[in-house]
Amino acid sequence: MSQFPLPVSQIAHLLGVPEDALRALMAQRDDSAGDPTLVGLTVAEAARRIGIGRTKMYEYVASGEIPSVKIGSLRRIPAEAVNEFLARRVSADDFAAAA
């Protein structure tokens, strides 16, 4: 099984970067930036995983595109919701590109 669950070639296409450059960046990333075992991410952690800003992530959360939960006064985003969001975006863009 691949180390990366999403199709890297499609993500590179969406980001407008060469696939080999994205793979090189992924290979050299510092895994100490986050705990991959976390199931509930802060907005900042979820934004960092996608590579967007916190403000944009809050927009996605507010619109319901990325689900989140409140735990007391804390907002948490399920880790799998980040992957599902990207997978939906890849599928939607592939469909639009084919039309």
Give the closest residue to 75 by CA, choosing from 41, 50, 27. 41
pLDDT class of 1 with cuts at 50, 70, 90: very low
pLDDT in the model for residue 7? 79
Q: Compute the distance between CA of residue 10 and CA of residue 60 in angstroms, rounded to an integer.
A: 21
In this prediction, residue 62 carries a pLDDT of 96
pTM: 0.57
